[in-house]
Amino acid sequence: MNIYFAGIGGVGIGPLAEIASDAGHYVAGSDTAKSPTTYQLEAKGVQIAYTQDGSFLEQVHAAHPLDWLIYTAAMAADHPELTKARALGIKTGKRDELISDIIREHNLKLIAVAGTHGKTTTTGMLVWTLKQLKIPVSYSVGSTLSFGPSGRYDENSQYFVYECDEFDRNFLHFSPYLSLITSVDYDHADTYPTPADYFAAFQQFIDHSAHTIMWEREAQRGLTLRPDNTLLHMQDTMPFHLVGTHNRENATLIAYASEYLSLGTYDEVRAAIDTFPGTSRRFEQLGPNLYSDYAHHPTEIAATLQLAHELSDHIVVVYQPHQNTRQYQVRAQYADCMKSAQKIYWLPTYLSRENPNLPVLQPEQLTENLTNRNIVEYRDLNSQLWTDIQRERALGNLVLVMGAGSIDSWLRQQLAA
């Protein structure tokens, strides 16, 4: 097939383009800016345009008649490339359709990692473990990996490991052989209007899965396993030499999955997991006393701070909230998620896929429930914030920069300047 990927540098689409290329398909695409993923793809000979007005798509189609345009869920229905594809009679679809097609075509067993928090780390950790055990694996991870591309197809693989995202109900398009549930905590109000809708979707995902591993706490919150589906409910975390309670929980999921799939002995699996190098933006160290993390939900923030406190008692948080719609949902939950920080620099919310009828909540409104509001200082992404960060690092404080928006790229730009 000849496949065009719109938004080819994104964390969801980019790995899929890698997989399609590995599987022998012709791949081209577009994005609005260069990224580590586009650099990787261009190094493999993939043609990428950094305009999305439809002209490049038409040019590619003339040279290599396209069978499929794959696009991100964030793309507007009247986007120029979607409009052009329809006019040219090119089939269009989202990433889940192509992944399902590849899994079916190559007769792979899907190992899906789902949950509100911890999907990326757990998926990356599982891929790493399989690689260390010399087991061929095809996979897609929604982040940059230090040990390989974000997506890969291996013709010798039996399994396809996939970070199965609940946004846009993506995960409901799959029937996994084995599902790992990291956690379930209401999120994505733009897709699920109520917590009941959210939990019902996870229940449907579990019902679609042949086998499931999840924590007992999720069962206590109402999620159930069919008698023919049940693998186990986990209660206790296994001992691993990893920093952070949530990382040790993720590792425990993988240890149980490895045992069920007979991937290796417990000692072999544990040795592999203990050397996991991590993924991009998941407590990623960018320099002395400076870490970047994707956390943007109070539960994630608390977990990341717990991890940081295993390394330092002096933590300064720089936080950029993500999506105004989400802030209406989580604002009350911020209460004590940063209670262990010594100082908090709070930024305006990064806006994405917003409801235009909702007024944008201001930083002062989002912090009004914080138990340690007295240590909050309000900042913007500018030179003053960078000066503050550098001063805190020089004082020996661990600076933890968190958010899913533009803050990570801004931080890397400051370091590179």
Distance, CA of 154 to CA of 122 (rounded, Å): 20
Return the pLDDT at 230: 57
Residues 130 and 186 in one domain: yes
Residues 151 and 127 in one domain: yes
3-class DSSP state for residue 279? strand
Return the pLDDT at 144: 84
Provide the β-strand partners of residue 232. 213
Residues 220 and 313 in one domain: no
Return the pLDDT at 319: 98
Q: Is 292 exposed, middle or buried (0-12, 13-18, 19+ CB in 10 A)?
A: buried
Residues 17 and 113 in one domain: no
Residues 267 and 297 in one domain: no
Residue 1, Cα to own-chain centre: how many angstroms? 27
Out of 239, 273, 307, pick the residue that ends a domain: 273
Distance, CA of 65 to CA of 193 (rounded, Å): 40
Q: Of 148, 156, 12, nearest to 70 (Cα)?
A: 12
Q: Is 137 exposed, middle or buried (0-12, 13-18, 19+ CB in 10 A)?
A: buried
Domain that holds residue 225: 106-273
pLDDT (tens place) for every residue of the chain, 417 residues total: 999 999 999 888 999 999 999 999 999 999 998 988 899 899 999 999 999 999 999 999 999 999 999 998 778 889 999 999 999 999 999 988 999 999 999 999 999 999 999 999 999 999 999 999 999 999 999 888 889 999 999 999 999 999 999 988 999 999 999 999 999 999 998 899 999 999 999 999 999 999 999 988 888 888 988 776 656 666 778 889 999 999 999 999 999 999 999 999 999 999 999 999 988 889 999 999 999 999 999 999 999 999 999 999 999 999 999 999 999 999 999 999 999 999 999 999 999 888 899 999 999 999 999 999 999 999 999 999 999 999 999 999 999 999 999 999 999 999 998
Residues 220 and 318 in one domain: no
Residues 339 and 378 in one domain: yes
Q: Is the dihedral of CA 345, 350, 355, 356 positive or negative?
A: positive
* Cα diameter, the chain: 62
Return the pLDDT at 231: 61
Number of domains in the chain: 3
Distance, CA of 148 to CA of 18 (rounded, Å): 11
Out of 74, 94, 114, pick the residue that ends a domain: 94
Q: Has residue 324 been placed in a domain? A: yes
Q: Provide the 10 A C-beta neighbour count for residue 355.
A: 11
Residues 233 and 295 in one domain: no
CATH code for position 42: 3.40.50.720
Residues 268 and 145 in one domain: yes
Out of 43, 67, 94, pick the residue that ends a domain: 94
CATH code for position 317: 3.90.190.20
Q: Of 166, 178, 182, 248, nearest to 214 (Cα)?
A: 182
Structural contact between residues 108 and 136, judged by C-beta atoms closer than 8 angstroms: no
3-class DSSP state for residue 46? coil
Return the pLDDT at 229: 65
Q: Has residue 351 been placed in a domain? A: yes
Q: Provide the 10 A C-beta neighbour count for residue 398.
A: 22
Tell me the C-alpha to C-alpha distance, in Å, between residue 155 and each of 17, 107, 270: 16, 11, 27
Q: Is 247 exposed, middle or buried (0-12, 13-18, 19+ CB in 10 A)?
A: buried
Distance, CA of 188 to CA of 195 (rounded, Å): 10
Residues 110 and 229 in one domain: yes
- Sheet with 159-163, strands from edge to edge, namely 151-152, 137-140, 159-163, 109-114, 178-181, 212-215, 230-234
CATH code for position 130: 3.40.1190.10
Residue for token pair 């206590």:
220
Q: Has residue 249 been placed in a domain? A: yes
Q: Provide the 10 A C-beta neighbour count for residue 44.
A: 12
Q: Has residue 144 been placed in a domain? A: yes
Question: In what helix (H) or strand (E) does residue 276 lie, and over which residues does it extend?
Answer: none
Please give the backbone phi and psi of residue 55, each rounded to the nearest 5 degrees, phi first. Answer: -70, -40
Q: Has residue 310 been placed in a domain? A: yes
Distance, CA of 315 to CA of 291 (rounded, Å): 11
| pTM of this prediction exceeds 0.75 | yes
Q: Has residue 99 been placed in a domain? A: no
Residues 259 and 125 in one domain: yes
What b/e readout covers 3-29, taking b as 16+ CB neighbours within 10 angstroms? bbbbbbbbbbbbbbbbbbbbbebbbbb
Length of the chain: 417
Residues 115 and 259 in one domain: yes
DSSP 289-350: TEEEE---SHHHHHHHHHHHHTT-S-EEEEE--B-HHHHHHHGGGGTTTTTT-SEEEE-PPB
What b/e readout covers 311-339, taking b as 16+ CB neighbours within 10 angstroms? ebebbbbbbbbbbbbbbebbbebbeebbe
What are 315's two structure tokens?
């933590």
Q: Has residue 101 been placed in a domain? A: no
First to last CA, the chain: 42
Q: Has residue 278 been placed in a domain? A: no
